[in-house]
């Protein structure tokens, strides 16, 4: 029996929730441990999503807290440690202290396969642990392996080894073509991505199995597994699939993704929140701060109170300046103009235009 642990972090966002549902439905034999890291500053809808998931999964989601034993929420505990210095895009101590460190403490030195909900329509890698005992897998993508694995696999020094592996993996009539691709060295006019694209074009399952066979010669956690069911997965899931999975499963989409109507200067628009995570997240767009101010005034006031120590959530302006009536009007008008430009692309009941602009920004550990 393998000693490898399989874990999935539930951020409270749509993608990690949909991934948990997807793996439960399609790979029920995988014994996955689910966890969530609680900052104490999440929206109520995030906690509701976690409760709904526990019902669907039939399994408890382990709650991790960064400052166990503290008399205040984890965020407030570390904010005091940092002398009131608010986190920002240039200093993301919140992600490090509240998300990543509790996760690495949770898994310890165990061999771990960590499932990450980055989709097939996203061009980003997300958080990859520097610890050698943790390996990330991306089930929604064509390439389920992380960039560090691919870089080792496709290294020019491995050409002979990889060609030898084609005798182990059943490639059928594609073997000669695969061998030709493997034999062609990476160069300025043939980079790593081009080589991998050519291999995956010859077969996703076949390429995954070649990589898996290569991993057996490494110290990655999957080297300890005799097989891995996701090797044969050829599905590529995109954003619309995520919302569909959440709705069809009965778990539902967190309410903060739903559009809310507003009007300014006789023009109508719609806003919502584009991400999970803390209600005062500095990655929010201006229109999302306005949404928080108008839809959750009590939470906005708490976010505003944090600025009294002399640090701001936004570099350009304070929250107090942002919610002056003329400034709100300007933010809404500017946002409506963007909505109008993107109107032809909106096909969902959720705020996809905001997601288009901003969901790739931020910390994957918080928002996926």
Reported confidence tier of residue 351, pLDDT bands at 50, 70, 90: very low
pLDDT of residue 342: 75
Percent of the chain's residues with pLDDT above 70: 91
* Ordered alpha helix ranges (H), the chain: 14-26, 44-57, 74-81, 93-95, 101-107, 147-153, 159-165, 175-183, 192-202, 204-215, 239-249, 286-295, 297-306, 319-322, 325-342, 352-358, 364-367
Position 1 pLDDT exceeds 50? no
Assess whether pLDDT exceeds 60 at residue 96. Answer: yes
Sheet holding 5-9, edge to edge: 62-64, 32-37, 5-9, 112-115, 134-137
* pLDDT recorded at residue 284: 92
Residue 128, pLDDT score: 64
Lowest pLDDT segment from 122-126, 259-263, 319-323: 122-126
Structure pTM?
A: 0.90
Summarised one tens digit per residue, pLDDT across range 197-253 is: 999 999 999 999 999 999 999 999 999 999 999 999 999 999 999 999 999 999 999
Q: pLDDT digits over 241-290, tens only?
A: 999 999 999 999 988 998 999 999 999 999 999 888 899 999 999 999 99
């Amino acid at each position: 029996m393998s000693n490898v642990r399989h874990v999935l972090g539930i951020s409270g966002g749509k993608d990690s929730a949909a991934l948990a549902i997807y793996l439960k439905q399609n790979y029920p034999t995988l014994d996955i441990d689910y966890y969530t890291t609680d900052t104490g500053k999440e929206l109520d809808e995030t906690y509701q999503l976690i409760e709904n998931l526990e019902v669907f999964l039939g399994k408890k989601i382990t709650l991790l807290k960064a400052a166990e034993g503290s008399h205040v929420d984890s965020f407030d505990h570390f904010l005091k440690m940092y002398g009131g210095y608010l986190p920002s895009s240039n200093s993301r101590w919140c992600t490090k202290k509240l998300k990543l460190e509790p996760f690495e403490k949770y898994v310890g030195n165990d061999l771990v396969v960590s499932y990450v909900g980055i989709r097939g329509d996203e061009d980003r890698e997300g958080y990859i642990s520097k610890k050698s005992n943790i390996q990330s897998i991306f089930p929604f993508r064509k390439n389920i392996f992380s960039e560090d694995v691919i870089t080792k696999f496709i290294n020019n020094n491995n050409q002979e080894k990889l060609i030898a592996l084609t005798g182990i993996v059943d490639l059928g009539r594609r073997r000669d073509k695969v061998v030709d691709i493997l034999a062609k060295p990476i160069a300025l006019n043939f980079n790593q991505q081009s080589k991998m694209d050519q291999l995956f074009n010859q077969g996703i399952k076949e390429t995954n199995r070649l990589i898996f066979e290569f991993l057996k010669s490494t110290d990655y956690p999957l080297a300890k597994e005799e097989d891995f069911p996701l090797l044969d997965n050829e599905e590529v899931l995109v954003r619309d699939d995520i919302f569909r999975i959440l709705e069809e499963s009965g778990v539902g989409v967190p309410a903060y993704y739903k559009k809310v109507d507003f009007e300014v200067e006789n023009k109508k628009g719609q806003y919502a929140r584009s991400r999970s995570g803390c209600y005062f997240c500095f990655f929010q767009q201006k229109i999302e701060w306005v949404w928080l101010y108008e839809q959750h005034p009590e939470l906005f006031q708490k976010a505003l109170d944090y600025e009294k120590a002399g640090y701001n959530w936004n570099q350009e302006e304070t929250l107090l300046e942002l919610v002056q009536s003329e400034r709100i009007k300007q933010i809404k008008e500017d946002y409506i103009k963007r909505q109008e430009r993107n109107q032809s692309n909106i096909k969902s009941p959720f705020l996809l235009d905001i997601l288009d602009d901003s969901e790739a920004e931020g910390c994957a550990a918080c928002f996926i």
